[in-house]
């Protein structure tokens, strides 16, 4: 799969694809236009003040007393009073607009067909769990969030370690992921597409490389994806892939990672059961292909220095089978 890093407006708050981001973008543009006018007026008056030829301002009192006449002062007082009143009204209007938009954003929580997803921030990857009343249908995956188009999704956020922040600007503003607290946010995508998000709260050495992809697809495609993800990993068919599976199970990988369908059940690192179905690896750092995966496993600390993936020395005869096995986990 190739990664369509499309130009210009990827990960952008002014390219909204859902109602939440759309309302925020509308508010933003309104503020921007109004406040730009205020700015231009202020600068205009300042520059005009410098260029006035002082008609009507008596010079003689100014030279003597360093203040103009009482009439001028009274005119200025009225002008400033009027400007202040206008400012107050503008700010009040902006306040109301802001509060109304906030209410609209919160309105999505009353939707009846919302899907619930729990996102847990870790240093420096995202753990994603699709919640369900049926425990067999709770899906645990990592770094890539698929959502159906047109359906509200409730994001329950928390963190395992430090404060992170879930931010997919095309869809909504950010929500901090705070250890020991659960923060909630509702998002919805109106168009299918792939939208990049990034952690937006400084979380340590690799804050820069903690991205995630939100993939919105039509409901049928989403359902198909979900069912496929719920399946455990298929047993490897040929000897080459079996050697790869053995390499995985006999090295350090199993201490941290899970591949459902095998004995590997580590909980502290991303779930690899369907690794090959993802667009990127290492939380959006590299496109997902065999070369990048090989480089990542061989030396994660050069690609993402400080991250918690152990540097494991594999035997050379294990490398190719392991990579092929991992790339077979669709």
Partner 1 sequence: MRVLAALACVIALTGCQRERRDLRPAPPQAAIYGDAAREGTLQPGGVLPARAVAYPASQNALAISEGQRLFAWYNCTGCHSHGGGGIGPPLIKEHWIYGGEPENIFETLVKGRPNGMPTWGGRIPEYQMWQIVAYIRSMNHLEPQSASPARADSLEPSPTIQNKRAGVTR
Partner 2 sequence: MRYIVTAFLFLLAGGVEALLMRLQLSFPNNPMLGPDKYNQIFTVHGSNMMFLFAVPVMEGMGVWLVPLMLGTRNVAFPRLNAFGYWMYLIGGLLLYVGLFTNTGPDAGWFAYTPLSGPQFSPGKRVDIWAQMITFTEISAMCVATELAVTILKMRAPGMSLNRIPMYCWAMLVQSAMVLFAMPAVMVASNVFLLTDRTIGTHFSNPAEGGDPLLYQHIFWFFGHPEVYIIFIPALGMVSAIVAAHSRRSIFGYPAMVLSLVATAFIGFGLWVHHMFATGLPQIGEAYFTAASMMIGITSGVQIFCWIATLWTGRVRLNTAMHFVLGFIFIFVMGGLTGIMLAAIPIDLQVHDTYFVVAHFHYVLIGGALFPLFGGFHHWFPKFTGRMINERLGKVSFWVLFLGFNLTFFPMHLLRLKGMPRRVYTYSPEMHWTAANGMATAGALIILIGGILFIVNVISSRRSGPIAGANPWDAGSLEWAADSPPAPYNFAFLPGAVSRYPLWSDPADRVVVTGMRNDRREILVTETVSGEPRFRHVLPGSRIWPLLTALLATAGLVGSIFYFQWYYIGAVLTAIGLIGWFWPKEPVEIEP
Given partner 1, partner 2, none, residue 59, with its beta carbon under 5 to 8 Å by kind, binds partner 2
Minimum Å distance from CB 284 to partner 2?
Answer: 9
Q: What is the dihedral of CA 174, 12, 189, 285, to 10 degrees?
A: -80
Report in angstroms the alpha-carbon separations of 276 from 71, 233, 281. 79, 11, 9
255 makes contact with partner 1 (CB under 8 A) = yes
289 makes contact with partner 2 (CB under 8 A) = no
Given partner 2, partner 1, none, residue 196, with its beta carbon under 5 to 8 Å by kind, binds partner 2
317 makes contact with partner 1 (CB under 8 A) = no
Q: Which part of the chain contacts partner 1 (CB under 8 A), choosing from 107-115, 164-172, 184-192, 299-307?
A: 299-307
232 makes contact with partner 2 (CB under 8 A) = no
Per CB under 8 A, the list member of 250, 265, 290, 317 interacting with partner 1 is 250
Number of residues that bind partner 1 (CB under 8 A): 20
252 makes contact with partner 1 (CB under 8 A) = yes
Per CB under 8 A, the list member of 37, 57, 80, 205 interacting with partner 1 is 205
47 makes contact with partner 1 (CB under 8 A) = no
Minimum Å distance from CB 268 to partner 1?
Answer: 5
2 makes contact with partner 2 (CB under 8 A) = no
Minimum Å distance from CB 310 to partner 1?
Answer: 5
Instruction: Using alpha carbons only, give the angle 198, 200, 205 rounded to the nearest 5 degrees.
Output: 90
77 makes contact with partner 2 (CB under 8 A) = yes
Positions 135 through 164 that interact with partner 1 (CB under 8 A): 161
305 makes contact with partner 1 (CB under 8 A) = yes
38 makes contact with partner 2 (CB under 8 A) = yes
Positions 88 through 147 that interact with partner 2 (CB under 8 A): 88, 91, 94-95, 97-99, 101-102, 105-106, 123
Q: Rule CB under 8 A: which residues touch partner 1?
A: 161, 179, 205, 250-252, 254-256, 268, 299, 301-302, 305-306, 308, 310-313
């Amino acid at each position: 799969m190739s990664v369509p890093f499309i130009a210009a407006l990827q990960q952008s708050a002014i390219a909204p694809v859902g109602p939440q981001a759309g309302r925020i973008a509308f508010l933003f543009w309104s503020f921007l236009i109004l406040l730009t006018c205020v700015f231009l007026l202020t600068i205009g008056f300042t520059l005009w003040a410098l260029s006035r030829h002082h008609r009507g301002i008596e010079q003689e009192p100014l030279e003597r007393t360093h203040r103009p006449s009482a009439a001028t002062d009274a005119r200025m007082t009225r002008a400033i009073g009027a400007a202040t009143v206008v400012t107050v009204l503008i700010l009040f209007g902006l306040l109301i607009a802001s509060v109304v938009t906030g209410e609209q954003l919160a309105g999505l929580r009353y939707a009846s067909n919302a899907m619930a997803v729990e996102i847990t921030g870790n240093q420096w990857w995202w753990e994603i769990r699709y919640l369900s009343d049926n425990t067999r249908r709770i899906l645990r995956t990592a770094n890539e969030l698929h959502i159906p188009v047109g359906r509200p999704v409730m994001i329950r956020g928390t963190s395992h370690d430090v404060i992170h922040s879930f931010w997919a600007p095309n869809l909504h503003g950010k929500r901090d992921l705070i250890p020991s607290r659960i923060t909630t946010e509702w998002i919805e995508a109106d168009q299918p597409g792939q939208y990049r998000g990034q952690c937006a709260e400084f979380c340590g050495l690799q804050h820069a490389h903690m991205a995630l992809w939100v993939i919105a697809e039509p409901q049928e495609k989403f359902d198909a994806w979900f069912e496929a993800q719920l399946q455990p990993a298929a047993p490897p068919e040929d000897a080459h892939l079996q050697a790869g599976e053995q390499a995985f199970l006999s090295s350090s990988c199993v201490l941290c990672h899970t591949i459902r369908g095998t004995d590997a059940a580590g909980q502290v690192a991303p779930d690899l059961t369907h690794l090959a179905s993802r667009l990127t690896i290492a939380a959006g750092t590299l496109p997902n292909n065999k070369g990048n995966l090989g480089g990542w496993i061989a030396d994660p600390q050069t690609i993402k220095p400080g991250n918690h993936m152990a540097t494991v020395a594999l035997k050379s005869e294990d490398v190719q089978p392991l990579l092929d096995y991992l790339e077979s986990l669709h």
